[in-house]
Structure 1
């Protein structure tokens, strides 16, 4: 990507058909991610779409290079759903294997960075799955985006959020530290003296006695019972 802040791709190879000019007055409110079902490049996916009625706004190659094929202001034919098409940016990702489907680390990182950049540029907020980032399968009967909704999903979304936080200059709220567990009182060596104090009524009864004696409760109560002849 030449410029993440302005969404300037490494290469512009714009479609001459199989997209719709404009967005029918709709606003962009989400990103929809796809996989190529093959290790395609910016040029080869452009070639595929010359004979197939489909397109997407961006292609992320396996080496991480990003191409723009449809301007953001126009509607790409990628989701199989007109409402989703007019309100989304579609991103394709090249696969490096098919059994199972998997994308490269470079493709994952730059694809996630692109999601973050789009969310930042269009003020969509921090990338959140099924809120402002979706898989193709949310809108059509398909397994696309394959690993990006499966084995590589968590890593992809974590990177998207990481890059968004970097771009926006914000940090997610830290997880509050766990409250330290107070140390258990050390058992007293003078159980006999504590038992005498309990018998004198100095430690109350029931829950109050348990609370005040803490870790010594069981041993002291046993000694109290012995002193009182209670079996």
Structure 2
């Protein structure tokens, strides 16, 4: 990596551990106002008694880790904090800023897998991440090229589909392509729940890759029992049948 990596700053504004599961996506933020200094933002997010933080603050040539990504920073609300890694980016989004953030994402994907990118606005009612939002796919592609991966991120492991549907209805996931990008592999299942709530009718079962879901289940990414049923939703029976067949030979 070509940036300076700082670990001497520690925010007290976080919760220990990831009880909902390992990081499943990366949330891109900007710190709002042009002209602010990197370390002033670090100091603010590390303030005692604060109600916000992030895992990283990043700008051209420097990345500061203030919350361990295996813990929950306070950056994206009830749907983003449990399994999101938050990166606070310089709002000017210069070429240097863009490159450094892409390098950080590449390093995170080496550790946590090919995590997709979402914007803060996909989880809360905000304009954040400003200039970064329309460039998320470009940012993801650059990060993957830096680590030698593919240009399209893998879908995020499923969250609580009912909670995601509630957030969609509340307008927190936008519309159209923005919603599809934010929800990733969960889009069809969540949209079916939304449709059923709003119209009383459910569209046909989503067209998803059941074999890939079965592989994720066996890898432990969908939990067990009721948690697995809730996460897989309408796909549960079909996926579980594939899992059972594989494990029994």
Query: Is the CA contact 1:15–1:46 (under 8 Å) kept in the aligned structure 2?
Result: no
Q: Distance in 2 between matches of 1:171 and 1:112?
A: 13
Query: Is the CA contact 1:137–1:143 (under 8 Å) kept in the aligned structure 2?
Result: yes
What is aligned with 1:107? 97
In the TM superposition, 1:107-146 aligns within 5 A as: 107-123=97-113, 125=114, 132-146=116-130
Where in structure 1 are there 5+ consecutive unaligned residues?
4-8, 96-101, 173-231
Q: Which has the larger radius of gyration?
A: 1
Q: Structure 1 10/41 Cα, relative in aligned 2: closer, same or farther at 3 Å? A: farther
In the TM superposition, 1:1-231 aligns within 5 A as: 10-38=5-33, 39-49=35-45, 50=47, 52-61=50-59, 63-81=60-78, 83-95=79-91, 102-123=92-113, 125=114, 132-150=116-134, 152-165=135-148, 168=149
Q: Identify the structure with the greater helix proportion.
A: 2
Query: Is the CA contact 2:11–2:66 (under 8 Å) kept in the aligned structure 1?
Result: no
Q: Distance in 2 between matches of 1:52 and 1:171?
A: 37
Where in structure 2 are there 5+ consecutive unaligned residues?
153-249
- In angstroms, what is the RMSD of aligned CA positions? 2.5
Q: Which digits, 9 at most, give the CA deviation of each residue in 1:107-135, with x for residues without a partner?
A: 10110121122122112x2x6xxxx2111
**Structure-1-length-normalised TM-score:** 0.57
Q: Distance in 2 between matches of 1:103 and 1:45?
A: 15
**Structure-2-length-normalised TM-score:** 0.53
Q: CA deviation at 1:161?
A: 2.6
